């Protein structure tokens, strides 16, 4: 089937309208009319080939919420009219140790991510959510709970699960002391989810003007990370720190704020750590420095269900698809609170936009 979308054709040209072909639905497929798609920093990095692996043209978008229009003959979990989500993955091998544990993102054969990858069955290149329609296997489609704003729920499919997974892995609950480093798309979700799990939540930020926003999101405390006295005052305090900063930064000051057997989880940065991590605090305090990458499908559904029970969604700014290039420019300046979401109805309105 041919669908309309927006694609990057080179690392430097603006994203532009693009017609492309989706596969013919298989018996286990769900066909989804896309209503909303969140805009993630990964979209920008992939569109601009920052990782050096992008194959063009690429249609980004992996925070997808839409309405089911058709299901294959083998599909029993969904029906036409259901509001559903598709996140960062659309397939995996299904039989390796990671997949059997429900951690498809770590598939030993390589997960098939939602855009820019080849379908493992027919070899077609897949395209993401900046488009009018998507086809995905039913086991990678998620129920969006009734009562959640579908537009504001879209970023839960990436920003939500990326922070939920380590919070659950490290057993955050009532009485836990959780630190969150950075207040952006990931950080604001980490605050909301940790608070709803019962934790005492502290934001680490270099910007004093983010304190009021952090408290409005649920943070109990704010520590200015550029102030040594404030860091010293919380030394040895935290059980878990979720570090959402997407660029190179010194993690040693945050390691010192962990308690005995405390854990610092990197979720936003994929490069080398500079300066090097000092090993002494790790050894003496049995502290853990680790990382976490999105999450599995089962835990993503658990996260969505939890958000449905607690009324948790992302703080968003709605936009038209025609404004995607301006949105990328604003993301680079951290000028969004806290996630852009594309109203895909705008795809059918040539010239639509909000300036």
Does 152 share its domain with 16? Answer: yes
**Cα 41 to chain center, whole Å?**
9
Does 275 share its domain with 315? Answer: no
Is 227 contained in some domain? Answer: yes
pLDDT in tens, 239-265: 999 999 999 999 999 999 999 999 999
Write down which residue in 272, 291, 310 finishes a domain: 291
Does 152 share its domain with 299? Answer: yes
Query: For 116, which DSSP code?
Result: S
Is 354 contained in some domain? Answer: no
Does 84 share its domain with 130? Answer: yes
Write down which residue in 244, 269, 291 finishes a domain: 291
Is 355 contained in some domain? Answer: no
Structural domain range at position 213 = 159-291
Does 151 share its domain with 163? Answer: no
- The DSSP string of 156-198 is GGTHHHHHHHHHHHTT--TT-EEEEE--SHHHHHHHHHHHHTT
Write down which residue in 291, 311, 330 finishes a domain: 291
Does 186 share its domain with 80? Answer: no
Q: How many domains are contained in the chain?
A: 2
* Residue 106 clears pLDDT 60, i.e. is over it: yes
State the average pLDDT for the chain: 95
Report how far residue 251's alpha carbon sits from residue 281's, in angstroms, rounded to the nearest whole number: 12
CATH code for the domain of 136: 3.90.180.10
Report how far residue 78's alpha carbon sits from residue 71's, in angstroms, rounded to the nearest whole number: 7
Does 300 share its domain with 287? Answer: no
Does 184 share its domain with 142? Answer: no
Does 319 share its domain with 217? Answer: no
Which helix (H) or strand (E) segment holds residue 212: the answer is helix 211-217
CATH code for the domain of 245: 3.40.50.720
pLDDT in tens, 147-171: 999 999 999 999 999 999 999 999 9
* Residue 199 clears pLDDT 80, i.e. is over it: yes
User: pTM value?
Assistant: 0.94
Does 341 share its domain with 198? Answer: no
* Residue 351 clears pLDDT 70, i.e. is over it: no
Does 128 share its domain with 189? Answer: no
Residue 286, phi-psi category: left (phi > 0), alpha (psi -120 to 50), beta (remainder): left
Does 299 share its domain with 264? Answer: no
Task: Out of 234-238, 273-277, 323-327, pick the least confident.
Answer: 273-277
């Amino acid at each position: 089937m041919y669908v309309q979308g927006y694609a990057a054709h080179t690392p430097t040209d603006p994203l532009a309208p693009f017609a492309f072909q989706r596969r013919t639905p298989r018996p286990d497929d769900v066909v989804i009319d896309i209503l909303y798609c969140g805009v993630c920093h990964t979209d920008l990095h992939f569109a601009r080939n920052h990782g050096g692996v992008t194959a063009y043209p690429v249609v980004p978008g992996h925070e997808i919420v839409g309405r089911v229009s058709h299901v294959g003959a083998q599909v029993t979990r969904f029906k036409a009219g259901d509001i559903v989500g598709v996140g960062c993955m659309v397939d995996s091998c299904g039989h390796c140790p990671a997949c059997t544990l429900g951690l498809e993102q770590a598939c030993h054969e390589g997960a098939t991510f939602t855009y820019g990858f080849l379908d493992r069955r027919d070899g077609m290149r897949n395209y993401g959510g900046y488009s009018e329609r998507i086809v995905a296997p039913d086991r990678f489609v998620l129920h969006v709970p009734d009562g959640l704003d579908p537009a504001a729920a879209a970023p839960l499919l990436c920003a939500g699960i990326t922070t939920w997974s380590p919070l659950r892995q490290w057993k955050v609950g009532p009485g836990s002391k959780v630190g969150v480093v950075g207040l952006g798309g990931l950080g604001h979700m980490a605050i909301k989810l940790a608070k709803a799990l019962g934790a005492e939540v502290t934001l680490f930020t270099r910007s004093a003007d983010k304190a009021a926003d952090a408290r409005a999101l649920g943070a109990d405390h704010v520590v200015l990370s550029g102030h040594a006295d404030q860091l010293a005052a919380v030394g040895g305090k935290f059980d878990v720190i979720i570090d959402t900063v997407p660029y190179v930064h010194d993690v040693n000051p945050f390691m010192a704020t962990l308690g005995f057997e405390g854990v610092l989880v990197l979720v936003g940065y994929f490069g080398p750590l500079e300066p090097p991590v000092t090993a002494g605090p790790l050894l003496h305090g049995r502290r853990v420095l680790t990382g976490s990458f999105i999450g599995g499908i089962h835990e993503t559904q658990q996260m969505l269900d939890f958000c449905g029970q607690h009324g948790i969604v992302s703080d968003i700014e709605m936009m038209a698809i025609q404004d995607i290039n301006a949105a990328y420019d604003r993301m680079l300046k951290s000028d969004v609170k806290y996630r852009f979401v594309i109203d895909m109805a705008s795809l059918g309105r040539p010239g639509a936009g909000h300036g």
